[in-house]
């Protein structure tokens, strides 16, 4: 039995050695399961080199992928936390605290002012890692302030959407962000400025049914989920199997809802090219 | 024959006792009129006190009551000369969302709303009030038409939500809702929306992004159904009552949050107990609101409506 103990001991020492390796050194592709070096994966814009799965990325990564170096983060308006004093299994204020502790930003939508291959733009990014990107009063207010800044700067507004939908903990007030964001977009349009939507994984619910579907141009990242109703809800309603690729970027493209599906490495150049056509008018 | 909700059982018991006494009285020559009067008074008091203290979840059930009046009933009771207009000019007709020219107390308007149906056949025809993209696109078309011809828009909102189906998604349910919301906000004419039953999520807001939003006393309006919210946050639809409470879905709560401007009283025991009276009160409220808004210029109408939505939740 001594050989077995020896193997056991060496195995446990292997385990101990492994603990010293930072646990984020490797990352598993959520689609194909391939183990990837985190560094390589991030250098590849969080796209799996094996299956081309576009992983979810946070605000800062997204901004630095789209904007030229030296962009400026814009402050978001502060709104009242927890307007309904909402509590489910946890208090909403505790959920917010936890989200803020785990994220460099104060809520799920952050704007930045900068250039995209030299074209000035205000870019808003919705962060799925902050309470599933959900749209509450803070997100609505940030969206409006991003659009207002774009109008002031005579620059286009670009939004990268990602949301599980409306933030239920803010009840009806989250629903009211749909018309609120739409008011801002009407003003952007009246100012003659372009509005481009980059749909990323996932974009659903009230976000899709308002500012995500009102773009002059809709770009979607490959494979991303885009829809109004949740798949489980639809399945419970129709009691049939959902079609292959349902609510994915390519499916929406085939059904005329997005202009193009663009891989992440080509996103910045695509935006710059679009802006070169759309920001042609003399200011 | 009224159908009683679970929490109305004590009232139902009293009512059946009264009916029994009446039958007995009709058979014999016992004078029980004093007892009947006493019980009727007790029953009316109990109904009134029950309805004064409805919980958000009880209100949700009243809002969904199968006998609650809805679009076609209000068309009959409030409006004259209703001229239904059909189709989105792109795909088809959707009977879950109905609209057309109508006259209310002599004022010509564009009337649009959800229709739920009142029995199995009509509920299927109207898809239980759950609109599809073609329904929302028809609403957009009718609102644009109303704007061009100077007709104020009245909407009656009553939907669990927009239809969650494969074809609805393929035809752009989200885009159709977004465009209808935008069409409300672009109207150079007054728009008054009334949540008459259930105002469910994006499917409701697409017809309710109005200058003035009214709610019937026991209507509910929310971002997701209480059952849906409970399934996600409490992981069981059984907690719908808690979810309804937490989400603040009642007219009284939403008035406090400045999401709606006005509550239209219902008869004691809810709209379904006296639809005619409900319709009369609603008609008068609508006319008052339309007349107030009618004094504004098109630019003022748009600006005020925009300010209304920019301000919600900001204080």
In our burial notation (b when 16+ CB lie closer than 10 A, e otherwise), range B109-129 reads bbbbbbbbbbeeeeeeebbbb
pLDDT of residue A130: 97
Q: Give the residue-averaged pLDDT of A61-85.
A: 96
Percentage of chain A beyond pLDDT 90 is 86
pLDDT of residue A123: 98
pLDDT of residue A23: 66
pLDDT of residue A15: 46
Interface check for B17 against chain A (CB to CB < 8 A): the answer is no
The two tokens of residue B68 are 């609650």
pLDDT of residue B131: 98
Orientation angle between helical segments B173-186 and A177-190, nearest 10 degrees:
70
| B174–A209 CB contact, under 8 Å | yes
Chain B hits for A212, CB-CB cut-off 8 Å, are: 174, 178
| B312–A173 CB contact, under 8 Å | yes
Contact present, A39 and A46 (Cβ < 8 Å): no
Contact present, B246 and A84 (Cβ < 8 Å): yes
Chain B hits for A144, CB-CB cut-off 8 Å, are: 310
| A173–B313 CB contact, under 8 Å | yes
Q: Measured between alpha carbons, how far is A85 from A93 in angstroms, rounded to an integer?
A: 8
pLDDT digits (tens, 9 = 90+) for A162-203: 999 999 999 999 999 999 999 999 999 999 999 999 999 999
pLDDT of residue A81: 94
Chain A hits for B234, CB-CB cut-off 8 Å, are: 88-89
| A228–B166 CB contact, under 8 Å | no
The two tokens of residue A200 are 């990323």
Q: Measured between alpha carbons, how far is A115 from B16 in angstroms, rounded to an integer?
A: 75
Nearest beta carbon to residue B186 from set A186, A242, A243: A186
Q: Measured between alpha carbons, how far is B272 from B267 in angstroms, rounded to an integer?
A: 9
**Position B25 pLDDT exceeds 90:** no
**Position A274 pLDDT exceeds 70:** yes
pLDDT of residue A16: 45
Residue of A158, A138, A145, A148 whose CA lies nearest to A278: A158
The two tokens of residue B243 are 């979810």
Residue recorded with tokens 């929406």: A252
Nearest beta carbon to residue A233 from set B164, B306, B310: B164
Q: Give the residue-averaged pLDDT of B131-154.
A: 98
Closest Cα in chain B to A241: B166
Nearest beta carbon to residue B166 from set A137, A174, A242: A242
The two tokens of residue B11 are 């009232």
Element (H, E) at B253: helix B251-256
pLDDT of residue A5: 56
Nearest beta carbon to residue A79 from set B168, B181, B313: B313
If you write DSSP's letter for every residue of B84-150 in order, what string do you get? E----SSS---TTEEEEEEEETTEEEEEEEE---SSHHHHHHTGGG---HHHHHHHHHHHHHHHHTT
pLDDT of residue A1: 46
pLDDT band for position A28 (50/70/90)?
very high
| B202–A144 CB contact, under 8 Å | no
pLDDT band for position A18 (50/70/90)?
very low
Phi-psi region of B258 (alpha: psi -120 to 50; beta: other; left: phi over 0): left
| B162–A237 CB contact, under 8 Å | no
Chain A hits for B173, CB-CB cut-off 8 Å, are: 209, 228-229
pLDDT band for position A238 (50/70/90)?
confident
| B247–A183 CB contact, under 8 Å | no
pLDDT digits (tens, 9 = 90+) for B264-305: 999 999 999 999 999 999 999 999 999 999 999 999 999 999
Interface size between A and B, measured as CB pairs under 8 A: 168
pLDDT digits (tens, 9 = 90+) for B37-96: 999 999 999 999 999 999 999 999 999 999 999 999 999 999 999 999 999 999 999 999
**Position A17 pLDDT exceeds 50:** no
The radius of gyration of chain A from alpha carbons, rounded to an integer in Å, stands at: 21
Interface check for B238 against chain A (CB to CB < 8 A): the answer is no
Q: What residues form DSSP beta bridges with A160? A: A125, A198
pLDDT digits (tens, 9 = 90+) for A92-139: 999 999 999 999 999 999 999 999 999 999 999 999 999 999 999 999
| A179–B224 CB contact, under 8 Å | no
| A182–B209 CB contact, under 8 Å | yes
| A176–B166 CB contact, under 8 Å | no
pLDDT band for position A21 (50/70/90)?
low
Mean pLDDT of chain B: 95
The two tokens of residue B180 are 């209808």
pLDDT of residue A89: 86
Closest Cα in chain B to A95: B233
């Amino acid at each position: 039995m001594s050989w077995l103990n020896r193997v056991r001991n060496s195995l446990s020492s292997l385990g101990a050695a492994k603990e010293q390796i930072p646990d984020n050194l490797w990352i598993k592709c959520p689609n194909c399961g391939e183990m990837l070096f985190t560094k390589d994966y991030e250098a590849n814009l969080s796209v799996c080199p094996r299956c081309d799965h576009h992983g979810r990325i946070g605000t800062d990564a997204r901004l630095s992928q789209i904007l030229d170096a030296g962009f400026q983060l814009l402050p978001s308006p502060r709104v009242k936390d927890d307007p309904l004093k909402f509590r489910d299994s946890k208090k909403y204020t505790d959920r917010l605290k936890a989200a803020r502790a785990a994220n460099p930003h104060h809520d799920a939508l952050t704007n930045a002012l900068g250039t995209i291959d030299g074209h000035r733009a205000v870019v808003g990014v919705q962060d799925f890692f902050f309470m599933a990107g959900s749209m509450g009063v803070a997100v609505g207010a940030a969206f409006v302030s991003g659009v207002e800044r774009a109008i002031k700067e005579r620059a286009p507004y670009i939004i990268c959407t990602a949301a599980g939908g409306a933030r239920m903990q803010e009840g009806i007030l989250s629903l009211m962000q749909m018309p609120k964001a739409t008011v801002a977009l009407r003003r952007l349009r009246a100012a003659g400025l372009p509005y481009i939507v980059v749909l990323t994984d996932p974009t659903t619910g009230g976000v899709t049914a308002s500012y995500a579907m009102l773009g002059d141009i809709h770009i979607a990242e490959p494979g991303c989920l885009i829809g109004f109703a949740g798949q489980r809800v639809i399945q419970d309603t129709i009691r049939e199997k959902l079609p292959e690729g349902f609510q994915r970027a390519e499916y929406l493209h085939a059904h005329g809802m997005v202009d193009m599906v663009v891989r992440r490495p080509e996103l910045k150049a695509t935006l710059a090219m679009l802006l070169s056509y759309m920001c042609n008018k003399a200011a | 024959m009224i159908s009683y909700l679970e929490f109305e059982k004590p009232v139902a018991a009293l009512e059946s006792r009264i009916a029994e006494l009446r039958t007995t009285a009709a058979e014999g020559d016992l004078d029980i009129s004093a007892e009947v009067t006493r019980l009727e008074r007790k029953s009316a008091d109990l109904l009134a006190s029950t309805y004064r203290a409805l919980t958000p979840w009880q209100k949700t059930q009243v809002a969904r009551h199968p006998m609650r009046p809805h679009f076609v009933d209000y068309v009959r009771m409030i409006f004259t000369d209703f001229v239904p207009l059909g189709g989105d000019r792109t795909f088809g007709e959707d009977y879950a969302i109905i609209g057309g020219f109508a006259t209310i107390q002599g004022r010509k308007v564009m009337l649009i709303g959800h229709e739920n149906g009142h029995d199995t056949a009509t509920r299927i025809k109207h898809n239980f009030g759950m609109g599809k993209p073609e329904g929302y696109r028809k609403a957009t078309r009718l609102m644009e038409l109303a704007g061009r011809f100077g007709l104020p828009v009245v909407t009656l909102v009553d939907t669990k939500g927009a239809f969650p189906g494969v074809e609805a998604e393929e035809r752009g349910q989200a885009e159709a809702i977004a465009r209808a919301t935008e069409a409300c906000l672009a109207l150079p004419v007054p728009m008054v929306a009334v949540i008459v039953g259930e105002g469910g999520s994006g499917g409701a807001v697409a017809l309710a992004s109005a200058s003035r939003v009214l709610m019937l006393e026991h209507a509910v309006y929310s971002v997701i159904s209480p059952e849906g919210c409970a399934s996600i946050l409490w992981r069981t639809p059984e907690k719908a009552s808690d979810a309804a409470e937490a989400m603040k879905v009642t007219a009284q709560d939403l008035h406090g949050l400045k999401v709606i401007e006005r509550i239209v009283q219902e008869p004691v025991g809810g709209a379904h107990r006296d639809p005619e009276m409900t319709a009369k009160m609603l008609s008068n409220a609508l006319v008052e609101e339309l007349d107030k808004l009618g004094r504004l210029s098109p630019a003022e109408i748009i600006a005020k409506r925009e300010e209304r939505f920019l301000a919600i939740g900001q204080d």
